Structure 1
């Protein structure tokens, strides 16, 4: 039976309670608790802004050919395990249009063989290197393309990283919106230049795994609500999504959580107003897998594609599919809204030239088996055929993976122990994190265990390793190439053997290399009691004890950490026997080779930490909500810290971190001097005004319901989602006994007339008002290598915005410079109008205040030796900028 039609509208009141953006209902708990999200209708129709114009022309011409059933098929997934990819939209056989293949993940192709396992997002962020951001995206996109994938489900920038223990932070880049924004911009460009659609996710404020889908525990009636104000939304969480949209991302995935008590995938304010109107997003919004909770209301609120198409996995029921066909025929979803969905999907297809980037037998793999032969329709176990062609798509990408892993390695401490020579009398290696998972690198499904060396976290954001070079094997090869001696103990709890070997290394002036890790991932997998989010910030496998056991015997202990984010190092980082500390992130398949490059000086470490390392967990000021706090109702996660997360919080609270954001050492030293600021003439900022065109429609709808029945002699596949009706009677076909009763129609949801443009929006190109990206200042500084070896330095540009509610400094730009010893390089970075703006809630626009603004340049958020004023003016009124 089809789902009840009235249920498709049930969630509408969630989006209808308030009219002011992110209005709050005060409670004794927090002024944000029970916040509501305002209604914003109608859903904006795409217009082909900027370089999307040609793609829109092609898409519109294609959609004009489509029937109602074909349009519905394009927007609705066919169901979990119904085709070969993790997500598949319906095909259009009459026009030779294949089912779209959507596949994880943000660091490689999930479930595929003969494909690369790239470094994680947080690791590439630690390189602070735009070229590597782009190249990693391009290489990943190339592999997805060669496997016959249409949409790569990445990059991930939600979670941003509000809480240090957040389970999926490692899939993204950094809790800083500017670093994340630059990284996602380059990554999207790289992926799509390779010829596939990037899907930027998870939109938005999706900051923890606990309760993201409402359970566990099973008694909860709704998913967690992330409650935040308008300024926090714009200045923090929406910021990098604007960069992704400006880069041309073809798709955006809405998240599981609620935002101000309205589900993200049916939140009209998030989708219609912010993403499609204010940011001018021209691509399509697709749901996270089973994140759709309604049919009509999600369509009117801006959702364009539902994944995987069924209500729950393999249920055979759908909020869309035949229910969307019914909704268009009975007028509860207007034709122009369905047409816009189809145009947006096809425009993204043309925008990246998918027609020119097809491969034979696409997709060339199956997500459900690694065998050569299997069922094309895995759940139904139908059509046994060749499903895997075992196409090797790795090319020379291992070189880039090794480079990212090495350049994303951060040297946190070095008293002179590094680099090693390879000729140490005795090299000793300790810890399970140095060695192989006893079940093999892919022995735990979706990497759902913490055995052996940690090279990626767990969950849907993973890929299969084609191989994994462990630190132990790479170090052993390096030592033996110099005819050195090396021994190891990889059992973290073999205390006697650890002490004995460490003592021997200490006695002969050898070196002790200790490897430890901390893991996390997606909440559907629980590892050692961690439901995605980390329970604590300590090292796993008693890593602190391992380090203490080694340092008690060895006075030259080098600690290497593979972690998903910050860990607490306060118990041992100052121990004089700890002579060096390295954060090696989640390096991917070239893990061992990359750490050897750093340990032995083949690469001079130049990475900078993309997050703050605290002395105590409570220093972060934010925390995962681990226990429901609202009875059986949606847990209320109040973002009361506003924009003050990570280093912004530490600065405001005057807390000294152990290692500040942007910190990282080198085997050489650098000195900063001679800051200069050049102002650029620019026109005053003009808020966007005017109206859109009228909503277009393509083709006429045939109201004869007999045209939408299953064709004669049609063979249905079990649990497959089709657009067809069972009966000519719409009410009978819906299976809804309340059909036509008590519908709640959102005001404006059906208005196809020209709509007003918003001040922060654009008439010209995606990403918001184009004047936001005018360059107002260029800052330069001299950086001199004062050491004896060539090295990379990441020069960082921060801005003090000057207002009483502003952070002390905010990162706005950076560059990674390679400098020879004794040489001086010029750091040059631009500041745009957006970089100097605050969000004005009254004007609903960005404004540059007249508070005194200052540019700061240095090597980290707390090492900023250079500063210069930005000549905008004083006072608090808006400036003409």
Structure 2
């Protein structure tokens, strides 16, 4: 975009980009030279005929049609940080029997409660390459959430996708491959929502590092910035990589999406109309609601028209008692700044998501816990210290989920190397070495939000965690197995007891198992200088030195790694004394039992690495931004690598890797043969979507008398810091506390922001089909291959289907399908994978649609991204 034209656009959309009213043209031109997010207005309204949403829409319309203006605002605005029991709640609608809706972490369990399960991380379940386990994990988490009274579970995660391996929250998601992540998202969402809880796909979008995600947090670490990081992503990369798994989430019927802290192309994620209005709601046809991340909202009316539907936790800054919405949203609708249909659509989306997973408003489980304390009694309004009563009922929601957790932990363990020492068969002498094998001396929950690296690492840190009901350590499980076998067993649970370790592992007949780890998490916690993101890709607490020392003293050394992604193995992985290496991810509460099952062959390993193990950090290409690079303004993180991250980059650079994406060994062997291509008799020609939506629906009139909206002090007392929809005065300027109050929408909102007329469908959209044009999901080819178990024991194999799109700017190969198949010794199974039109298409920024290029396409089937046994050209 030319600089002058860009500056004009910036003037038009200054509010969306959170620019102050007095910015001059020189400052605007400086911003225009940076990446830019073009506006998209108006915010699309719900489609009553959208696939999978018609019944929920009808119920929502019946409900919302009865609401007053104040009740609609109450439904969209959080009540404030610590104002109620959950990490986030909106106001109740008691007149119609709807209690306050509870939004609560996390993507691997229920945060800050008791008698709940601590599940494996998303990355660990991705390593199973097992759709069924992904679904069952989601269903179990959804059941536990529902049993606690949680209405919206804040997960699963596709942002971060995993652009850079040191990203702090990569473990919360699934994989840097968009297809594997997309499958993980879809199956998890279906599981959570089938269990009766609304899922929340987050963080939308480009949220790929913790550094500079929030201004206050960054300033607390000594970084002098005034705006958050901008992830600068081009249109093609956005569609072919980062948006891909969110498409699968929308197709799976996800009820909510959380917008992210950082900016995208210099517009904040939670007021970026291109992202929320253009991509998510118009192009993908998302019918649920968009909620802000906690304190990620920066404007009131501007964020509303840009597509935000719910603000969390409601206050502008934690415990400020102020809100961009609440009373300000009430005023904005009354004075016409925010059109009434936009508020109606916010309420409709929230209630449609509710009715998609619930039958009636008065049949919800009560909220039976408090995030703020485990005490049985305390103030229900925690921040205000008000209304002392029972707030925790200590409801046990775990059921038999420990068995599932143990199964996922074992099946997600990746056997990276094995020269014959595994599986263990009643070894004579087992020596377990390393802090990562043992307990945290402070207890498994001894560090708030798991914000330390003491003892074994079974999950990362931050809001994406859950409290452990117990934690089976590797030391405990392996010792129990050794006792059962009659083996000698000793453990040294320190990385620094060199002389004692040498004396132990140098003895005859010893099998030494070394446990090492790396850790990471969310940016509000700093662990040893790791501000959420990892500082490096090495093992923590001198883990590399521990491995090298033990393997120099013992010729049968087995290494087990718990980590949030790849670590550098270059200095020791090929040491002949290291007979096996396993990656066990973050396996949750059954950690020790899971790894013992694999080491002893109770589970034949079939986990596959959901990322690439490179030889150097530089080998990954993309990396994090650790220092501000734009003065005090928003740090600029340019995604110049495009779609080439992880294995795509290694293939493009033609560099060797230690262990490739999709790699994993077994205790048996498999042989691939007989690849075939099946093509449907008739495949329809792709037709771009045409036509227009209906006009924005209306839901009746409302009073414009400000006296009808003043706080009803005679009905109930005011709670300190609680966010209400009521005005505190009939003077609108005083009520808003906004020095610019009185400006009309036309004066400060972008063109068409309040337009209620019928709008054209984007040509790539699906009209009534969430996820885009339904023809994108036509199966164009079915690929089959035979897989024979040529070994002596039964095992699972994970055949992977890749495709080459053939263009000069395309990755060498891209994952498109996979399966996990159990095959008995000597038996042959048939793998069947499909290639849809989307799988074979590229995003064309010029026509704004998916197109199949004329380049030769080739399909591959194999056991990893660099072990592709079979190939076939596609017509």
TM-score (norm 2): 0.95
Query: Please, which of 725, 728, 733 is the counterpart of residue 727 of structure 2?
Result: 725
The answer for the alignment partner of 2:9 in structure 1 is none
Partner secondary structure for residue 135 of structure 1? helix
Choose 751-760 or 740-749, whichever is displaced more.
740-749
Distance in 2 of aligned mates of 1:774 and 1:186: 20
Alignment of 1:809-848 (within 5 A): 809-848=813-852
Q: Does 1:465 align with 2:450?
A: no
1:369 and 2:369 aligned? no
Q: Is the 8 A contact 2:80 2:723 kept in 1?
A: yes
Q: Which residue of 2 aligns with 1:513?
A: 513
- The answer to whether 1:393 aligns with 2:394 is no
Matched, 1:134 2:138: no
The answer to whether the Cα contact below 8 Å between 1:32 and 1:640 also exists between their aligned partners in 2 is no
1:384 aligns with 2:388: yes
Q: Residues 96-495 of structure 1: matches in 2 within 5 Å?
A: 96-214=97-215, 215-216=218-219, 217-353=222-358, 355=360, 358=363, 360=365, 362-421=366-425, 423-495=426-498
CA contact (8 A) 2:16 2:303 kept: no
1:344-743 aligned within 5 A: 344-353=349-358, 355=360, 358=363, 360=365, 362-421=366-425, 423-504=426-507, 508-680=508-680, 681-713=682-714, 714-741=716-743, 743=747
SS of match in other structure, 2:820: strand
Q: Which residue of 2 aligns with 1:22?
A: none
Structure 1 residues 12 and 646, CA gap change in structure 2 (3 angstroms):
same
1:35 paired to 2:35: yes
Q: Quote the Cα distance in structure 1 between the aligned partners of 2:720 and 2:763.
A: 49
- Which has the higher mean CA deviation after the structures are superposed, 202-211 or 702-711? 702-711
Q: Which runs of 4+ in 1 moved over 3 A?
A: 356-360
Retained in 1: the 8 A contact 2:18–2:299? no
Alpha-carbon separation, structure 1, partners of 2:484 and 2:436: 23
Secondary structure of 1:350's counterpart equals helix
- Tell me, yes or no, if the aligned pair for 1:148 and 1:358 is still in contact at 8 Å: no
Query: 1:192-237, CA deviations, whole angstroms, 9 ceiling, x for partnerless residues?
Result: 0000100000000000000011323452110000001000000000
CA contact (8 A) 2:134 2:184 kept: yes
What is the deviation of 1:374? 0.9
**1:766 corresponds to 2:770:** yes
Contact 1:16/1:39, CA 8 A, preserved across alignment: no
Offset at residue 32 of structure 1 (A): 11
Deviation at 1:509, TM superposition (A): 2.0
Equivalents in 2 of 1:71, 1:632: separation in Å?
39
Contact 1:515 1:561 in 2 (8 A): yes
Count residues with an aligned counterpart.
848
- For the residue of structure 1 that corresponds to 2:786, the secondary structure is strand
Report if aligned partners of 1:254, 1:265 keep a CA contact under 8 Å in 2: yes
Residue 700 of structure 1: SS of its match in structure 2? coil
1:75 maps to what in 2? 76
- Return the alpha-carbon distance in structure 1 between the equivalents of residues 749 and 276 of structure 2: 18
CA shift for structure 1 position 737: 3.5
d(CA) in 2 for partners of 1:575, 1:64: 70
Unaligned runs of 5+ in 2: 1-11, 21-27
Structure 1 position 739, deviation (Å): 2.0
User: What's 1:874 paired with?
Assistant: none
DSSP-derived class of the 1:12 partner: coil
The separation in 2 between residues aligned to 1:701 and 1:91, in whole angstroms, is: 20
Report the Cα distance in structure 2 between the residues aligned to 1:775 and 1:639, rounded to whole angstroms.
32
- In 1: Cα distance, 2:596 partner to 2:795 partner: 17
**Structure 2 residue aligned with 1:754, among 732, 738, 758?**
758
Q: CA deviation at 1:356?
A: 7.6
State the match for 2:790 in structure 1: 786
- Distance in 2 of aligned mates of 1:628 and 1:846: 36
Distance 1:717 1:639 in 2: 46
Paired residue secondary structure (1:149)? coil
Aligned to 2:3: none
Classify the secondary structure of the residue corresponding to 1:272: helix
Change (3 A) 1:808 1:32: farther
Q: Which residue of 2 aligns with 1:4?
A: none
1:552 Cα deviation after fit: 1.3
Deviation at 1:14, TM superposition (A): 2.4
Query: Contact (CA 8 Å) 1:33, 1:227: kept in 2 or not?
Result: no
Q: Secondary structure at the match of 1:772?
A: helix
1:412–1:664: 8 Å Cα contact kept in structure 2? yes
d(CA) in 2 for partners of 1:783, 1:158: 35
State the secondary structure of the residue aligned to 2:417.
strand
In structure 2, relative to structure 1, the CA distance for the partners of 1:781 and 1:357 (3 Å cut) is: farther
Alignment of 1:29-68 (within 5 A): 34-48=34-48, 49-68=50-69
Q: CA deviation at 1:738?
A: 3.1
CA deviations 1:72-127 (Å, max 9, x no partner) are 00000000000000000110111111000000000000011000000000000000
Alpha-carbon offset, residue 16 of structure 1: 11
Residue 84 of structure 1 pairs with residue 85 of structure 2? yes
* SS of 1:799 mapped into structure 2: strand
| SS in structure 1 at match of 2:579 | strand
Q: How far is 1:426 from its partner?
A: 1.0
> Aligned Cα RMSD in Å?
1.6
Shift of 1:15: 8.6
CA displacement, residues 566-596 of structure 1 (integer Å, 9 cap, x when unaligned): 0000111011110000000000000000001
Deviations 1:647-670 (A, max 9, x none): 000000001110000000000111
Instruction: Verify the 8 A CA contact 1:16 1:746 in the aligned structure 2.
Output: no
| Cα pair distance change 1:546/1:524, threshold 3 Å | same
Give the CA deviation at 1:850. Answer: 1.5
1: CA distance between counterparts of 2:344 and 2:156? Answer: 27
CA contact (8 A) 1:147 1:359 kept: no
